[in-house]
Amino acid sequence: MKMDARNTFGIVCGAAAAILIVGTMAVIGSQPASAKPEFAASTGKPCGFCHQNPAGGGALKPAGQKFKDNGNKL
């Protein structure tokens, strides 16, 4: 298979456009984290009470999901 400059240019431009579109969608579609240290301070519970990670953030334990579903109230 022989490629000329026109085909190569088209492939490079197409790949660049795809990367730009995916990058833009990632930035626009991302959401800020809603976990806040204030929850730990207001409830008196450590971050690990609700989160799988003891430092907080990431996946929730069942208790954390219940807290979230209850409007962030115990």
> Which residues on adjacent β-strands are paired with residue 55?
none
Specify the 3-state DSSP secondary structure of 34.
coil
Cα first-last separation, the chain: 66
pLDDT number for residue 72: 86
Q: What is the pLDDT of residues 7-19, one digit of tens each?
A: 889 899 999 999 9
pLDDT number for residue 26: 83
CB 13 within 8 A of CB 19: no
- Give the pTM: 0.47
> Which residues on adjacent β-strands are paired with residue 66?
none
Q: Domain residue spans in the chain?
A: 1-30, 33-74
Dmax over Cα atoms in the chain, in whole Å?
68
